[in-house]
Amino acid sequence: MAQGHTDSEMPGLWFSHDELLALLTIEQLLSQLEPTVLAATLKPIQGRLAELMGQQGLAQKDVAKHILIINSRKRTLAPRVFEVLAAATMARQRIKISHLNRQTSETVEREVSPQRLVHYKNNWYLDAWCHLRNGLRSFSVDAIENMIVMDEPATEVPPEKIKAEMSAGYGIFAGSDTQWAKLKFSPKRSQWVSREVWHPEQQSTTEADGSFVLSIPYSDDRELVGDILRFGPDVEVLAPPALKASVQKMLLAAIGRYV
């Protein structure tokens, strides 16, 4: 008679799926580092990680053969910029950056006090206090064209303020002035969306016909509109009217390409 698996029958395989994913993600991040001083410093960690996984019965080569992590839409970075930026962030030094605003195609020079580096959807962002705008801003690291580390110490922003302003809205776009989006997904698509976490404070209900209604806070609709458009006819924006109009405008513009 078949017996159920126990810890003793599968020695070493004690990692949860989240822990294993974290280990593999760290390993892949390290393997993708460019040959800079920072990479040379961190490379030995790969050996220690391989040793740890080996001790737990997860030989690195075997894991790589049976588990694949695909990083899609990853943007390339200037290695030296990232290295200096990370060092300045940890050393708490103010920096001067030339940052490309992709919405306006304008490069703006500004002084910022780096608060933290954020790895989000396979790309790096810098959350910083912008002395030009006198407020917290998030900067795409790959859009930083030049950077100079200054002698002045970084202005410290309380962690609770950073969390309140940078994590309140949807996705990477910050803002404490939020409103709620209400989205209705078709019964077919609900099978997947009902298992997804779009925001820590999201609210949801399942209707009698199987439709899934998701409510999430947002402060800037750019990323949210893009994510909504991925679902095509399987999602409807119920509220607010401004978000519905933004999605409608994008859909009509897309249709115009094929008329």
Domain span including residue 62: 17-66
The pLDDT confidence band at residue 149, using thresholds 50, 70 and 90, is very high
Is residue 12 domain-resident? Answer: no
Instruction: Answer yes or no: do 85 and 151 share one domain.
Output: yes
Is residue 61 domain-resident? Answer: yes
Is residue 234 domain-resident? Answer: yes
The type of residue at 13 is L
pTM: 0.72
d(CA 44, CA 65): 22
The pLDDT confidence band at residue 15, using thresholds 50, 70 and 90, is low
Is residue 5 domain-resident? Answer: no
Portion of the chain with pLDDT greater than 70, in percent = 75
| Dihedral in degrees, nearest 10, Cα atoms 146, 152, 158, 162 | -10
Q: Report the CATH number that the domain containing residue 153 is assigned in CATH.
A: 2.30.30.520
Last residue in a domain, options 143, 166, 189: 166
Q: How confident is the prediction for the chain on average, in pLDDT? A: 84
Instruction: Answer yes or no: do 38 and 93 share one domain.
Output: no
Q: Evaluate whether 43 touches 33 at the Cβ level (below 8 Å).
A: yes
Strands across the sheet containing 235-239:
203-206, 212-218, 179-185, 235-239
Instruction: Answer yes or no: do 142 and 110 share one domain.
Output: yes
Give the total number of structural domains in the chain.
3
Q: Considering only 55-69, 136-150, 216-230, which range has the smallest mean pLDDT? A: 55-69
- Nearest-Å Rg of the Cα atoms of the chain is 22
Last residue in a domain, options 124, 140, 166: 166
Instruction: Answer yes or no: do 88 and 152 share one domain.
Output: yes
The pLDDT confidence band at residue 4, using thresholds 50, 70 and 90, is very low
The pLDDT confidence band at residue 120, using thresholds 50, 70 and 90, is confident
pLDDT in tens, 53-109: 677 666 655 666 666 667 777 788 777 788 889 899 999 999 999 999 888 889 999
For 64, residues 6+ apart whose C-beta sits below 8 A from its C-beta are: none
Instruction: Answer yes or no: do 84 and 162 share one domain.
Output: yes
